[in-house]
Homo-oligomer: A and B are copies of this chain.
Amino acid sequence: PDTYSLERGLPIPQGISKKAFLSAIEELKSAIGNENVQLNEKEVKNGWYMEHPNTHDMMPLLDAEEFIASAVVYPGSVAEVQLIVRWANQHLIPLFPISIGRNLGYGGAAPRVRGSVTMDLGRRMNKILDINAENYTCLVEPGVTYYALHEELVRRGLQDKMWIDCPDLGGGSVIGNALDRGVGYTPYGDHWGMHSGLEVVLPTGELVRTGMGALEGANTWQCFPYGFGPYNDGIFSQSNFGIVTKMGMTLMPNPGGYESFMYTFQHDSDLGPLMDIIRPLRISNILENVAQVRHGLQTLSVKGHPRTKYWSGKGPMPESVYREHLKETATGDCAWVYYGMAYGPPHIRAHKLAIIDSEFHRIAGCKKIDPATMPKDEYFWSRDRIASGTPDLEELKWVNWMPNGAHIAFSPVSPISGKDAEALYTMAKRRHTEQGFDLMPAFCVGLREMHLIVEIVYDAQDGDMRRRAERCLRDMIDDAAALGYGEYRTHLALMDQVAATYNFNDGALMKLNNTLKDALDPNGILAPGRCGIWPARYRGRGWEL
């Protein structure tokens, strides 16, 4: 059901009485307006991607009332953010900031600690504060989505001059995605690496600008990320050390032309040799964008039909079945698909494309699929849009694979190498088979590393399937760590486990993170548990999962 009532009632945060909590909420309402504070007491609605809930994860992995907010608050200004933070410190109420809350696959809008007050920054703080057409930069508030930024470029007639870089789905927040260190698919795909300048409200309420933003009257905040002295920005990504209220982002100049290309490979075992061919081409920028090497099955699932259209047996769909169906698609029968883009004027692209073509053809059975043969609704064109800076939503379609389709991501990092790709693929396949899931991996090739993204699609209403999905994930995290691979990002429910794999010298990195957390957030009010970092007040008290 799309809407359900809260069986456990209003999720009061641990350590505060209902009375004290409700009175604190009243206080907050009178400070910033009734309409900007909403209790989450009756029922919650799952909605869908574009109308997602901000109280919980619409694709729950655990009990749906575990990671859930007691209330949602909508600040309208930096001063209100500061006010709310001070309020939380006074009442020792955990706050969970989100920009948009479309972090699907990683926990959606849900807070890590049940009963946190979610600070939905995006609702009212959603202005594009600046687009600088000379420096190719912009300055945005948390509520600015990729769609909104792109539309503004179009509105100003700048879309031919400069591009944004977007993830596979365009409804996310430019700030939220970068803070979780998300990736996109143009040469500007490393979103964190491409930002310049933050404005942050610290957990004690002080307002800081980093980089050149700390120099009053500077015109370089979005041009030069470092400023003078320690470069602090990084501690505000994948953490719970501050609330980001503004971020600068660089924009990519139109490269003077672009051209998507697609190759298919016939055998599962082509993966290794392909990766070894890709590595030097990628590091030397002959392959220029964060390309995806996708499994054939994902090319099928992204058509948006339920799995049952193709097969209704138990366990993973057999290879023979999906390959038979692939034959009827524009992609054709294959094991792997490479989606890439060449940039620049025609003769420059031709130079690179010729090298790529001859290198890829070292693999027997490699085929270049002519874009002209691909219908307009083929997924290829979605990749084409994204790799050239136009937001899209096609990628959502593979969620239809299951009824009540939900998904969760496993995203380990490895070098770009055949040996590593094979090790991860073999391991993931074994664990998926054990738990009866279809394995649909995509390798997102960065510059010297790749993120393997495995999305398990499950039926969110099926408790057993949810548990199998969690088991599969947890086993893969442990297996990967034993092989030397770590996740670049993870789901709320798995953050403790993933953080614990970064364990050198008896967890020295987490001890450092804890030291920073205690110094910056002495009352432990900001997003407790996010990325495995627990404030002193919670640490070692059984909160870890």
Instruction: For chain A, residues 165 to 222, give those with C-beta under 8 angstroms from any C-beta of chain B.
Output: 181, 192-193, 196, 202, 206-210, 212-220, 222
Are B512 and A232 in contact (CB-based, < 8 A)?
Answer: yes
Q: Identify which of residues 150-175 in chain A touch chain B, using a CB-to-CB cut-off of 8 Å.
A: none
**Contact present for B501 and A215 (CB under 8 Å):** yes
> With an 8 A cutoff between CB atoms, is A320 at the interface?
no
Residues of chain B with a CB closer than 8 A to A469's CB: none
User: Which residues on the B side are within 8 Å of A509 (C-beta)?
Assistant: 208-210, 214, 227, 229, 232
Check: A97 CB closer than 8 A to any chain B CB: no
**Is A253 part of the contact surface with B, judged by Cβ < 8 Å?**
yes
Determine if B235 and A448 form an interchain contact, defined as CB atoms under 8 angstroms apart. no
Which partner residue on chain B sits nearest A512 by CB separation? B208
Contact of A234 among B135, B234, B283 (CB under 8 A): B234
Say if the beta carbon of A136 comes within 8 Å of chain B: yes
A504 CB within 8 Å of chain B: yes
Q: Which of B206, B279, B511 contacts A206 (CB 8 A)?
A: B511
B489 touches A213 (CB 8 A): no
For residue A393, CB closer than 8 A to chain B, the reply is no
Is A233 an interface residue when CB atoms closer than 8 A count as contact? yes
| Complex-state Cα separation, A303 to B373, whole angstroms | 63
Task: Please measure, in the bound complex, the distance between the C-alpha atom of A502 and the C-alpha atom of B232, giving whole angstroms.
Answer: 14
Q: A214-B504, A220-B413 are in contact. Are A229 and B488 (CB under 8 A)?
A: no
Q: Are A488 and B238 in contact (CB under 8 A)?
A: no
Which of these, B215, B417, B502, contacts A228 with CB under 8 Å? B502
Q: How far is the CB of A243 from chain B (nearest CB, A)?
A: 14
Q: How far is the CB of A469 from chain B (nearest CB, A)?
A: 21
> B531, A228: Cβ atoms under 8 Å?
yes
Q: Is the CB of A233 within 8 A of B234?
A: yes
B228–A485 touching, CB < 8 Å: no
A486 at the interface (CB under 8 A from B): yes
Contact code string A469-491 (vs B, CB < 8 Å = 1, else 0):
00000000000011111111110
A365 within 8 A of B: no
Please, how many angstroms separate the alpha-carbon atoms of A255 and B519 in the complex?
A: 46
Are B502 and A214 closer than 8 Å at their CB atoms? yes
Closest CB in chain B relative to A242 CB, distance in Å:
9
Interface string of A225-262 (1 = CB under 8 A from B): 01111111111111101000000001001011000000
B-facing residues in A490-504 (Cβ within 8 Å): 490, 498-499, 501-504
A5 is an interface residue with CB less than 8 A from chain B: no
Q: How far is the CA of A136 from the CA of B227 in the complex (A)?
A: 28
Instruction: Give Cα A34–Cα B498 distance, bound, in whole angstroms.
Output: 45
Q: Mark A415-431, 1 if CB is under 8 A from B, else 0.
A: 11100100000000000
Closest residue of B by beta carbon distance from A181: B226
A342 within 8 A of B: no
Chain B residues whose CB sits within 8 angstroms of the CB of A326 once the complex forms: none
Contact B134 A417 (CB under 8 A): yes
A279 to B216, CA, bound (A): 24
Complexed CA–CA distance, A136 and B219 (Å): 35
Any B CB within 8 A of the CB of A223: yes
What distance in Å separates the Cβ of A230 from its nearest Cβ neighbour in chain B? 4
CA of A220 to CA of B504, assembled, Å: 14
Is B230 touching A237 in the complex (CB atoms < 8 A)? yes
Q: Which of B192, B215, B347, B484 contacts A484 (CB 8 A)?
A: B215
For A219, A229, A531, which residue has the most chain B Cβ atoms within 10 angstroms?
Answer: A229
* 0/1 string, A447-465, CB within 8 A of B gives 1: 0110000000000000000
Whether A351 sits at the interface, judged by CB under 8 Å, is yes
Which residues on the B side are within 8 Å of A212 (C-beta)?
413, 486
**A308 at the binding interface (Cβ < 8 Å):** no
Beta-carbon contact of A238 and B234 below 8 Å = no
Q: Are A512 and B279 in contact (CB under 8 A)?
A: no
Given contacts A228-B499, A531-B229, contact A519 B508 (CB under 8 A): no
A414 within 8 A of B: yes
Distance, CA A509 to CA B228, complexed state (A): 10
Given known A231-B237, A250-B448, contact A220–B414 (CB-CB < 8 A): yes
Chain B nearest CB from A446 CB (Å) reads 7
Cβ of A142 within 8 Å of any chain B Cβ, yes or no, is no
Q: Are A206 and B135 in contact (CB under 8 A)?
A: no
Query: Counting chain B CB atoms within 10 Å of each CB, which of A193, A253, A502 scores highest?
Result: A502
A508 touches B255 (CB 8 A): no
A499 / chain B contacts, CB cutoff of 8 Å: 228-229
Ranked nearest first, the 5 interchain pairs of A and B with the lowest CB-CB distance are A231-B234, A519-B519, A214-B502, A217-B484, A230-B239
For this complex, 19 residue pairs linking A to B, each with C-beta atoms less than 8 Å apart, are: A135-B279, A135-B448, A192-B226, A206-B505, A209-B504, A215-B502, A216-B504, A219-B484, A220-B413, A224-B446, A224-B448, A226-B238, A230-B239, A230-B241, A230-B513, A231-B234, A256-B284, A348-B348, A516-B519
Give me 5 other A-B pairs in contact (C-beta within 8 A), A218-B486, A253-B280, A515-B520 excluded.
A136-B283, A181-B226, A229-B239, A250-B448, A515-B519
